[in-house]
Amino acid sequence: MASLVFRGHDTTLIPDSYSPKHPKPWSSLTRSIQYILREQRLIFVLVGMAIAALVFTILPSSPSHYNYSTIPDSYFTSESTRLAAAHRVVFDRRVGFVGGVGGKIPLGLKRKGLRIVVTGGAGFVGSHLVDRLIARGDSVIVVDNFFTGFKGNLIHHFGNPRFELIRHDVVEPILLEVDQIYHLACPASPVHYKFNPVKTIKTNVVGTLNMLGLAKRVGARFLLTSTSEVYGDPLQHPQVETYWGNVNPIGVRSCYDEGKRTAETLTMDYHRGAGVEVRIARIFNTYGPRMCIDDGRVVSNFVAQALRKEPLTVYGDGKQTRSFQYVSDLVEGLMRLMEGEHVGPFNLGNPGEFTMMELAQVVQETIDPNAKIEFRPNTEDDPHKRKPDISKAKELLGWEPVVPLRKGLPMMVSDFRQRIFGDHKDGSSDMSSTV
* DSSP E strands, 266-414: 278-283, 286-287, 312-315, 321-323, 325-326, 346-348, 353-355, 373-376
Amino acid at 261: R
Q: Across-strand partners of 313?
A: 374
Phi, psi of 27 (to 5 degrees): -65, -40
- Centre a 10 Å sphere on the Cβ of residue 167 and count the other Cβ atoms it contains: 12
DSSP assignment letter at 206: I
* DSSP E strands, 244-401: 278-283, 286-287, 312-315, 321-323, 325-326, 346-348, 353-355, 373-376
DSSP assignment letter at 379: P
Q: Shortest CA distance to 337 belongs to which of 328, 327, 347, 324?
A: 347
Q: What separation in angstroms does the CA of 240 have from each of 80, 235, 253, 343, 418?
A: 30, 11, 21, 15, 38
The secondary structure of 46-107 as a DSSP string is: HHHHHHHHHHHHHS-SS-----TT---GGG--SHHHHHHHHHHHHHHHHH--SSSTT--PPT
Task: Tell me the C-alpha distance between 50 and 423, whole Å.
Answer: 63
Q: Indicate which residues carry an active-site annotation.
A: 256
Amino acid at 276: V
Amino acid at 426: D
Q: Identify the sign of the CA torsion 206, 209, 214, 220.
A: positive
Task: Tell me the C-alpha distance between 210 and 416, whole Å.
Answer: 35
Task: Tell me the C-alpha distance between 255 and 39, whole Å.
Answer: 79
Question: Residue 356 is inside which H or E element, if any?
Answer: helix 356-366
Nearby residues of 402 by Cβ (< 8 Å), 6 or more positions away: 83, 86, 87, 90, 329
Question: Residue 327 is inside which H or E element, if any?
Answer: helix 327-339
Q: Where are the alpha helices (DSSP H) in 106-220?
A: 124-136, 190-193, 197-202, 208-218
